[in-house]
Structure 1
Amino acid sequence: MRLADITVPDTAACRAALETAEAYCSPSLLNHSVRAYLWAAAYAQARDIAFDAELLYVSSMFHDIGLVAEFDSHTVPFEEAGGHVAWVFAAGAGWPVERRRRASEVVVRHMWAEVDVAADPEGHLLELSTGLDISGRRPEDWPAGLRAEVLERHPRLEIGKEFAACIKAQGERKPESLAGEFVRNGVVGRIQANPLDR
């Protein structure tokens, strides 16, 4: 599989989601969001997992938006804040209520330890792809050539350092959140050891 084999949806909602992510995310976080979609879509295509590409793409653009200053909530975990942003964005895009809810769910569930592919293919794919991109989980599930091509086109920049700082801050301020649990369970070390950075 090559990067050119990955279908990237070209809809008004997807273009607007990318434009919004470009406006608020750092270059590292933006590239991470783009890679999150690419890893997810590639994994699905290689395994014949049916998924809604537009929903997955929009959710990928917003899955970490709760980490940026403008949307960082002091009262809810960052993935829940991002889910709210996704819901509001989807409403503005004219999506029906159920589809807005799905966008929010996919964003929230990317932090889960596991998402059932049968119940939520988009959530399953985003959980796997972000696990690869942030902590280097299961890189063997993506061909080495594809990994190299994606990283060349959308470089990691400072995502390891930046994300480690963000997740530590979230864990300190919201110790009962999944971010807090991740920090206690050594996610910073896994980020630093990510094989994608070698």
Structure 2
Amino acid sequence: MKLNDLVIPDTAACRGALEVAARYHTPSLLNHSVRAYLWAAAYARKQGIGFDAELLYVSAMLHDLGLTAEFDSHTVPFEEAGGHVAWAFCAGAGWSRERRQRALEVIVRHMWDEVSLEDDPEGHLLELSTGMDISGRRTELIPPGLREEVLARHPRLDIAKEFAACIAEQGERKPSSLAGGFVRSGIAERVARNPLDA
């Protein structure tokens, strides 16, 4: 499988979501967001999973906005903050109320341990792909040729160090959040051992 085999949707919402991600993310977080979509799309293609490419792409681009200074919330976990930003973005993009809610759900669920494929294919794919890209979970499912091509085009840069610092800071301020639980379970060590950085 090659990068050109993957469907990268070209819609106004997708172009806008990429522009927002590029404006507010560091280069490391931007590349992570792009890779999250690509790993998800590759896995879906390999497994024959049908999914809404526009919904998944927009959600992937916006899923970590709650980690940025501009959209960080002191009252809700970062994934919820990012989900609400996506809801507002998708309203501006003309999406229906139901579709906006789906973007919020996909983003919130990317932090879950597991998302049901049957109930939420896009949430399942984003939870899987962000786990691959951050903690190295199930990276053996990424086709080797595609892995090299994606990492060459969208390099990891400082994502391990940057994400570990972001999640530690979130966990300290919001200890009851999923980020707090990740910190207590040793996320920093898993991030440091990600095979994608080998």
The alpha carbon displacement at 1:143 in A equals 1.1
CA distance in 2, matches of 1:135, 1:144: 18
Superposed displacement of residue 139, structure 1? 1.0
1:189 is matched with which residue? 189
Structure 2 unpaired stretches of 5+: none
When the two structures are superposed, what TM-score results if normalisation uses the length of structure 1? 0.99
Percent sequence identity over aligned pairs: 73
After superposing on structure 2, the runs of 4+ consecutive aligned residues of structure 1 that deviate more than 4 Å are: none
Q: Deviation of residue 100 (structure 1)?
A: 0.2
Whole-Å Cα distance in 1 between the matches of residues 146 and 132 of structure 2? Answer: 13
CA distance in 2 between counterparts of 1:176 and 1:75 reads 11
- Output the aligned Cα RMSD: 0.4
- Supply the AA of the counterpart residue of 1:182: F
Residue 143 of structure 1: aligned partner: 143
Separation (CA, whole Å) in 2 of partners of 1:192 and 1:180: 18
Residue 18 of structure 1 aligns with an amino acid whose one-letter code is L
* Per-residue CA distance 1:148-174 (angstroms, 9 max, x = gap): 110001000000000000000000000
Aligned to 2:154: 154
Provide the aligned length of Structure 1 versus Structure 2.
Answer: 198
User: What TM-score do the two structures reach when normalised by structure 2?
Assistant: 0.99
Partner of 1:89: 89
Partners of 2:43 and 2:79 lie apart in 1 by 22
Q: Which residue of 1 aligns with 2:22?
A: 22
State the secondary structure of the residue aligned to 2:9: coil
- How far is the alpha carbon of 1:142 from its aligned partner? 1.1
Structure 2 letter corresponding to 1:57: Y
Which residue is equivalent to 2:99?
99
Give the counterpart letter for 1:15 in structure 2: R
Structure 1 position 11, deviation (Å): 0.3
Tell me how far 1:101 sits from its aligned partner: 0.1
Which 10-residue stretch deviates more, 180-189 or 138-147?
A: 138-147
